[in-house]
Amino acid sequence: MPTDAYWKDLSDVSLLASISGPADLRDLTREQLNELAWQVRDFLVEQVSRTGGHLGPNLGVVELTIALHRVFDSPRDSIVFDTGHIAYVHKLLTGRQDFGGLRSRGGLSGYPCRAESAHDVVENSHASGSLSWAAGIARGRRLRGQTDRRTVAIIGDGALTGGMAWEALNDIAADKDLPLTIIVNDNERSYAPTGGGLAEHLAQLRISRGYEDVLSWGRRTLTGTPVVGQRAFEALHGIKKGLKDIVAPQVMFEDLGLKYIGPVDGHDLDQLHTALRRARDFDGPVLVHVLTEKGHGYEPARNHEDDQFHAVGVINPETGLPLEIAGRSWTDTFSDALGQIGAQRPEVVALTAAMLIPVGLRDFAAAHPERVFDVGIAEQHGVAMAAGLAFTGLHPVVAVYSTFLNRAFDQVLMDCALHRAGVTFVLDRAGATGNDGPSHNGMWDMSLLGVVPGLRLAAPRDGETLAQELAEAVAVTDGPTVLRFPKGTEPSAVPALERADGLDVLARHGVGPGESPDVLIVAVGSMAPLSLEAGAKIAAQGHRVEVVDPRWVLPVAPALVARAAGAGSVAVVEDGVVSGGIGDRIAGALAAAGVSTPVHRFGLPKEFIEHASRAQVLTDAGLTAEQVADRLIDQLGPAAPTPRDTLRLA
């Protein structure tokens, strides 16, 4: 087996280069398959280290993916990846080996993508939905008489903590002749070690490998003695029963009615082939429990407890160390601010959905382990639980990626808002995230949350306002509050000229005290630097401009309505979907107040945005300072002459 220092020049990886589709795998020898597995690993480390991406999870499923494509006939058989971040090996084996533009515009998506290949089925990269998809595909095929086609779902032990997966399992188990294979990719981790009762059960099932080893020993021992036949098999049966009672727990999946195969060594191709063939040929739903190691074969990824190799940026492939030193992130600032609040306010607790480290809760958990709850990939449960915690007098802070709060909208509405629960939601990766594609852009939050009665939403423009607004949020006890901030490096501080009626005035151009501007630019959160630059460009054309940050953008503040009433026009710049966004809310508030000031809206289009950099996404949406300024100048027309100009003309 190659060592961790084993690297090949990619030009010499002839075996991998010869694979143009799954059929090319079926004539390879065992030795060739093992060599292919290591060539795939070398390729992934070498390529993903240049582009960034999900490295550790893909290194763990190399043999599993090879075996899948040897046993099943994709795309005739449908292979559904839960979450989809483990599909890199699948892409390589289905003819997509140009990883130079991975997760970049024009290159391969970081997730399954129907536009790339007929082998890709589900593009949504949210967790726990694969079993529902697979059940629908298998039942649809059966109804159409396509009984010779199999459906396979691959779900991780982390994603299996999601309630949606268990709803599907309950339904699938009742359909005894459904031609469906479920593969549990059990690596004991999602972003971090998997927790909860299911994780403990799977851990117990891993012990059954010891049971199988002893059983094999017993079989060899008994059949090698003169005591054979009936007595031998009675003795063997006794050993099996006793060992199962002692070593392995009652198998929960079999109790549900699912055929269970495993545990299987996910890095042993012979075991994988045997287990998958048995599953394929069984007339009914089968669950194959596969044990894999995240980062297998690459020492830097295997040894990182904080799972920084779940997804990496540009790294040195030999050391695993980052080549790009990022600045301080928005998440870092949130983490520090929550730590300070937590030290002062013992009623503040934190919740996460299997993402303790990515959302910045690690330090809080280290300081207050009893005040952090990791519910697994179960946002709905977590948000409803937060309402229960608030009922007891605690103040929960629910930290999630913006896109994942979509899963728990009903709980925000009916459990938190209806019950006036003091729960704070901190939405990381809000707005355009870019490289991870349409299901990861956190662009829907403000439009969705804008319909929730009593909800207050803040969009910090920099680290200082993030800390201030978090402190304000956890002081609210009569309803839900939300803070949202983007992915990436925190910007330089954006100071305010003054704070008036809760609004931060960021800039004035040609507007004196008590005067109204030609255009009032409302900067939403991280759009503040862009808005300031656009305002300066508009002012250079002779227009009077004022730029304000409402700080709390939902509900629309009466002070903002009053300020807008005297302006010639209002421009709202936001990095959420423009339909139903803050611009629409402000326009509605002005109309309700009888104010006729026109509102120009700048935001993301109501469409699924393909993977590209954040800068590219914003440019395409017209969200650069030049684009905003040019469009507003066109809409404003020539600047009106100032009183001094009028005197000069006279």
Domain CATH number, residue 568 = 3.40.50.920
Q: Are residues 87 and 151 in the same domain?
A: yes
- Residue 5: inside a domain, yes or no? no
Pairing of strands 519-523, 481-484: unpaired
- Residue 325: inside a domain, yes or no? no
Q: Are residues 480 and 508 in the same domain?
A: no
Q: Residue 614 in 3-state DSSP? A: helix
* 272-293: average pLDDT: 93
Annotated binding-site ranges for thiamine diphosphate: 85, 125-127, 158-159, 187, 298, 379
Query: What strands, in cross-sheet order, belong to the sheet with 259-265?
Result: 78-81, 151-156, 180-186, 286-291, 259-265
- Residue 34: inside a domain, yes or no? yes
- Residue 123: inside a domain, yes or no? yes
Annotated binding-site ranges for Mg(2+): 157, 187
Separation CA 340–CA 108 (nearest Å) = 42
Separation CA 368–CA 371 (nearest Å) = 5
479 has which bridge partners?
Answer: none
Q: How do residues 284-320 score in pLDDT, each as one tens digit? A: 999 999 999 887 866 666 665 555 555 655 555 555 5
Average pLDDT, the chain: 85
Residue 3: pLDDT band (50, 70, 90) is very low
The residue written with tokens 């396979």 in the block is: 152
* Domain membership of residue 66 as a residue range: 10-302
Q: Are residues 402 and 460 in the same domain?
A: yes
Residue 210: pLDDT band (50, 70, 90) is very low
- Residue 217: inside a domain, yes or no? yes
Q: How do residues 523-555 score in pLDDT, each as one tens digit? A: 999 999 999 999 999 999 999 999 999 999 999
Q: Are residues 520 and 614 in the same domain?
A: yes
Q: How do residues 217-241 score in pLDDT, each as one tens digit? A: 444 444 444 444 444 444 444 444 4
Q: How do residues 235-248 score in pLDDT, each as one tens digit? A: 444 444 443 444 34
Separation CA 231–CA 235 (nearest Å) = 6
Q: Are residues 354 and 217 in the same domain?
A: no
Q: Are residues 405 and 530 in the same domain?
A: no
Cα separations in angstroms, 152 against 12, 374, 425, 594 = 33, 29, 36, 58
Domain boundary residue among 302, 318, 346? 302
How far, in whole angstroms, is CA 586 from its chain's centroid? 30
Q: What pLDDT is recorded for position 223?
A: 40
Q: Residue 378 in 3-state DSSP? A: coil
Kind and range of the H or E run holding 487: none
Helix ranges restricted to H, 475-579: 528-539, 558-565
Contact 455, 481 (CB under 8 A): yes
User: DSSP label at 89?
Assistant: H
Domain boundary residue among 484, 508, 524? 484
Cα separations in angstroms, 627 against 315, 379, 398, 602, 621 = 34, 37, 36, 10, 9
407 is catalytic: yes
- Please name the residues in contact with 622: beta carbons below 8 A apart, sequence gap of 6 or more: 602, 628, 631
259 is catalytic: no
Least confident range of 169-178, 263-272, 633-642: 633-642
Q: Are residues 231 and 134 in the same domain?
A: yes
Q: Are residues 408 and 467 in the same domain?
A: yes
- Residue 451: inside a domain, yes or no? yes
* 365-383: average pLDDT: 95
Q: Residue 118 in 3-state DSSP? A: coil
Q: Are residues 390 and 531 in the same domain?
A: no
**Catalytic one of 141, 407, 461, 563:** 407
Annotated binding-site ranges: 85, 125-127, 157-159, 187, 298, 379
294 is catalytic: yes
**Catalytic one of 63, 188, 379, 546:** 379
Q: Are residues 260 and 335 in the same domain?
A: no
**Catalytic one of 41, 141, 189, 294:** 294
Residue-wise burial string across 310-319, b where 16 or more C-beta atoms lie within 10 A, e elsewhere: bbbeebebee
Residue-wise burial string across 13-42, b where 16 or more C-beta atoms lie within 10 A, e elsewhere: bebbeebeebeebeebeeeebbbbbbbbbb
- Residue 102: inside a domain, yes or no? yes
pTM: 0.82
Domain boundary residue among 264, 284, 302? 302
| Number of structural domains in the chain | 3
Q: Are residues 519 and 626 in the same domain?
A: yes
- Residue 2: inside a domain, yes or no? no
The residue written with tokens 């309700």 in the block is: 592
**The domain spanning residue 380 has which CATH number?**
3.40.50.970
Q: Are residues 400 and 442 in the same domain?
A: yes
